[in-house]
Structure formats: structure tokens, C-alpha cells
Amino acid sequence: MSLPVLECRQIYKSFGGVTVLNNVDFILEKGEIHALVGQNGAGKSTLMKIINGVYTQDSGTILIEGKEQIYKSAQEARRAGISMVFQDFSLVPTLSVSQNIFLARELSGGHLGLDDRRMEEITQKLLDSIGIDISIHPRDYVENLSVGSKQLVEIAKALSTDSKILIFDEPTVGLDPTQIVEIRGLIRRLAENSTVLFSTHILSEVEALCDRAIILINGQVRADARLSELAATSDAILVLDRQTSGVQEALGRLDHVRDVSAFVTSDGYPAFRTLGSSSTWPTAARPLHRRRPTTPSTSRRSSPPCRGP
């Protein structure tokens, strides 16, 4: 079997004493599309920035094609063939679209000394290659662009150098429904030549796009499986973000659920393991959701409703 393109081993990261990534292990396999799934605050951006050299992990190892790597900046990672589309844009607002793209290329060691016209031509080609009908001119200043257009320039910037690993942090946020479909098409096309990791908190995006899903809850990998394996399981785990009475009984009454057992997760959340068809989950989530108190949780963390297998 060939080596994974990227391997994260026992990654830990904390900010100000708060653990954000807790023993994260996973691999990216060549040419596949991987989704990093988790709610806001789960640690997705932090993990991606560690892979991309923006942050350094407190401990743990990142291997690229079997060799341990520590990148000290996003430019260093780009030179090694890892590009990232940042969620909190990496563009300089007071520069034009083409200046932003060429700043990235120059910092990564390519194409120095081109005149403005040539840079604009190359930028236009790059924007065209995204295959999305957008009216962005290479000379537009980034600060004047809409959120969706900035997102597309951010993508063009990531694609301006050849990459073996492409990381997209929530790539469809701020785009309209047509653009979302087009970006998914683009990601599929890019996966023909690169390995892709994208993050999302939208489950339909996972089904639409990925080969493999890595589910991150409160900084821990709680599931890591091919989509076909997840679809085949009939069991599920429900993790609540607070103690709620009557849940076990409500789950037990659902059609197809054969058995429900309660347990507490390692980080102290009430949880239930069910055996039976996971097709009942959308039905189950609605009445459970209505039981939640209206006051917001004081916890920093909140857990998604279920995982499998």
C-alpha cells in the first residue's frame, strides 16, 4: 500500500490553557476528497492552519508522504505543495486582485519581476479557470469586493501555484447557491490531480462531495470513515450538550431502534448508543430538539447530535 499523502499523529494544541485539539490522528489518502466536519469552535481551522504552517502544534507530528514536516509559514507550506483557502481571508484589502495573487506567488518563490499587464492577464486566466461566472477584474481592489467574490479570489490565490494538497476552510461560506454548486464541481476537478481536505459544518456538503469524513467534536476525532462505510452502519451515537430527562425512553420508542444504552463521554457529556436504523435520526432529532431549553448554553462547547459508526 502506498504511503498516505499526509498523516497527523497525536496533535495537541491549546490557546491560553484551553485545549483546542486533543490527540488528533488522521490520514489523507492520495487523490481523495476528505471532509473535516464539525460545529463552529470544534478546532477545524486551527488544525488546518497547523498543517499549513500558520500555527505550530504543542505536540504531535505531521508527516507528508511519510516524512516529518514542520512548516514555519504558509509560504513555506506552499513551496512544499500545500495550499490553503483561508476562512478568515489571507488577502491584503488595499491591494488589487492581481497584486494579491502575485504577492502570494512571489512570497512562494515564483514569477518575480512581471509587469502589471502580464500579471493581470495571468490573473484573468486563473479566475477563468475557476469556471465560475464572476465579474471580478484583476485590477479591482479587494476591499471593494463582496464576501463571495473575496472567497473566489482566495480560491484563485490558492490555485496559483501547483499543489499536491489543497486545503479549503469552509469554501462555500458567503457564496450563493449557484456558486456553491460550481465550487463543488471545481473541488471535484481539482481532486483529479491533488489530494483535497475541506472543512464544513454542513452535513449535506459532506454527502455531496467527499470520499471520507473526519468528524471533529471539541477538538477530538470522533469518527473517521469512508462515506460508504458510514452509510452502511445502522448504529449511531447521540451526544448531548447537557443532561436532559427522558431521552433514553424517547429513543427507545423510535421505529427500528433495537437497543439504547446510556454512557458519559470522556469529556463528560451525556451520550446514548443506539442499535438500529440510522434512517430514523432526522425524525429523532426534531422532538429532541424541541425539548431543549431556550436559554443559551454557558458551555464553550456544544456537540452535534449524532455520529456513527
| Residues in CB range of 270: below 8 A, 6 or more apart | 239, 240, 242, 243, 244, 247, 262, 264
Cell numbers at 93, concatenated: 484589502
**CA distance between the termini of the chain:** 25
Element containing residue 292 per DSSP (H, E): none
CB of 41 to Mg ion, least distance (A): 8
161 makes contact with Mg ion (CB under 5 A)? no
Size of interface with ligand ADP, in residues (CB under 6 A): 10
CB of 88 to ligand ADP, least distance (A): 8
Strands (E), the chain: 6-15, 18-28, 33-37, 59-64, 67-68, 82-85, 165-169, 195-200, 212-217, 220-226, 235-239, 257-264, 270-276, 306-307
DSSP string of 218-273, one letter each residue: TTEEEEEEEHHHHHH--EEEEE-SS--TTHHHHHHTSTTEEEEEEEE-TTS-EEEE
CB of 191 to ligand ADP, least distance (A): 22
Q: Which of residues 44-73 bind ligand ADP (CB under 6 A)?
A: 44-46
Binding-site partner at residue 46 among Mg ion, ligand ADP, none, CB < 5 to 8 Å by type? ligand ADP
Nearest residue (CB) to ligand ADP, 84 versus 251: 84
Q: Which of residues 1-20 bind ligand ADP (CB under 6 A)?
A: 15, 20
CB of 260 to ligand ADP, least distance (A): 29
Nearest residue (CB) to ligand ADP, 180 versus 217: 217
Binding-site partner at residue 298 among ligand ADP, Mg ion, none, CB < 5 to 8 Å by type? none
Q: Which of 41, 60, 185, 305 binds ligand ADP (CB under 6 A)?
A: 41
CA distances from 125 to 114, 122, 297 (A): 15, 5, 48
Q: Which of residues 9-68 bind Mg ion (CB under 5 A)?
A: 44-45
Binding-site partner at residue 42 among ligand ADP, Mg ion, none, CB < 5 to 8 Å by type? ligand ADP
Cell numbers at 291, concatenated: 425539548
Cell numbers at 167, concatenated: 486545503
CB of 86 to Mg ion, least distance (A): 9
Q: Which of 4, 11, 38, 171 binds ligand ADP (CB under 6 A)?
A: 38
CA atoms of 77 and 128, how far apart (whole Å): 25
Binding mask 82-121 for Mg ion (x = CB under 5 A): -----x----------------------------------
C-beta separation of 162 from 132 below 8 A: no
Q: How many H helices and E strands in the chain? A: 10, 14
Radius of gyration of the CA atoms of the chain, in A: 21
CB of 170 to Mg ion, least distance (A): 6
CB of 37 to Mg ion, least distance (A): 12
C-beta separation of 36 from 197 below 8 A: yes
Nearest residue (CB) to ligand ADP, 82 versus 216: 216
Binding region for Mg ion (CB under 5 A):
44-45, 87
**Site of interaction with ligand ADP (CB under 6 A):** 15, 20, 38, 40-46
